[in-house]
């Protein structure tokens, strides 16, 4: 599937959103924000702790918070969609997995509760197993890997 090239404002906003959320999630960004607060506090006596002095920090933090909510939400939406697509691919590829779970996020709340009850019952039944090794073992992992390896053509290793 060929990727559709984004152009214009949408592409610029996506790039800015990615860069901004990555940058603001760093220790440097936290230290910078803390430094701004410290400078603001230290200037309190200079401005006699006036209403204007308080308004500066309140307005600044409100504006930054308002804008960051939208940037973070945009980034979260994209990440969530990517995770859903990866999970959908896994469900579609696994033998025995129900394709009805593809796009499960689009089901109604009542339908999701029904599925949750189904899986909760599976948990109850699996807890009756004596040990985790009854359902997961090194041997099982090796067998699954061998089956997958046989399905795919691999170039001979040199």
Do 33 and 66 belong to one domain?
A: yes
Looking at 93, 121, 138, the residue that finishes a domain is: 93
Q: For residue 75, what is the enclosing H or E element?
A: helix 51-93
Structure tokens at 123: 């948990």
Predicted pLDDT at 134 = 62
Q: Residues 72, 73, 75, 76: is their CA dihedral positive or negative?
A: positive
- For the chain, how big is the Rg over CA atoms in Å? 26
Residues 69, 106 within the same domain: no
| Nearest residue to 77 via CA among 105, 104, 99 | 105
113 and 84 housed in the same domain: no
Residue 90 · residue 98 · CB < 8 Å: no
Residue 3 lies in a domain: no
pLDDT bracket for residue 133 (50, 70, 90): low
Q: Which domain holds residue 79?
A: 9-93
For residue range 68-122, what is the model confidence (pLDDT) as tens digits?
999 889 989 999 999 999 999 999 998 888 888 888 888 999 999 999 999 899 8
> Is position 88 within any domain?
yes
Reported as a single tens digit per residue, the pLDDT across 13-44 is 888 888 998 999 999 999 999 999 999 999 99
């Amino acid at each position: 599937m060929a990727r559709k090239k984004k152009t214009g404002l949408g592409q610029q906003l996506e790039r800015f959103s990615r860069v901004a959320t990555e940058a603001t999630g760093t220790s440097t960004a936290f230290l910078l924000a803390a430094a701004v607060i410290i400078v603001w506090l230290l200037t309190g006596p200079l401005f006699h702790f006036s209403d204007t002095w308080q308004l500066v920090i309140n307005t600044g933090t409100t504006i930054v918070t308002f804008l960051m909510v939208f940037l973070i939400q945009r980034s979260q939406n994209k990440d969530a969609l990517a995770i859903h697509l990866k999970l959908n691919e896994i469900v579609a590829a696994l033998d025995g997995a129900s394709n009805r779970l593809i796009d499960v996020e689009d089901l109604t709340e009542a339908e999701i509760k029904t599925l949750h009850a189904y899986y909760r019952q599976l948990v109850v039944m699996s807890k009756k197993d004596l040990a985790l090794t009854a359902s997961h073992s090194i041997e099982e992992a090796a067998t699954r890997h061998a089956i997958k390896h046989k399905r795919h053509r691999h170039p001979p290793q040199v």
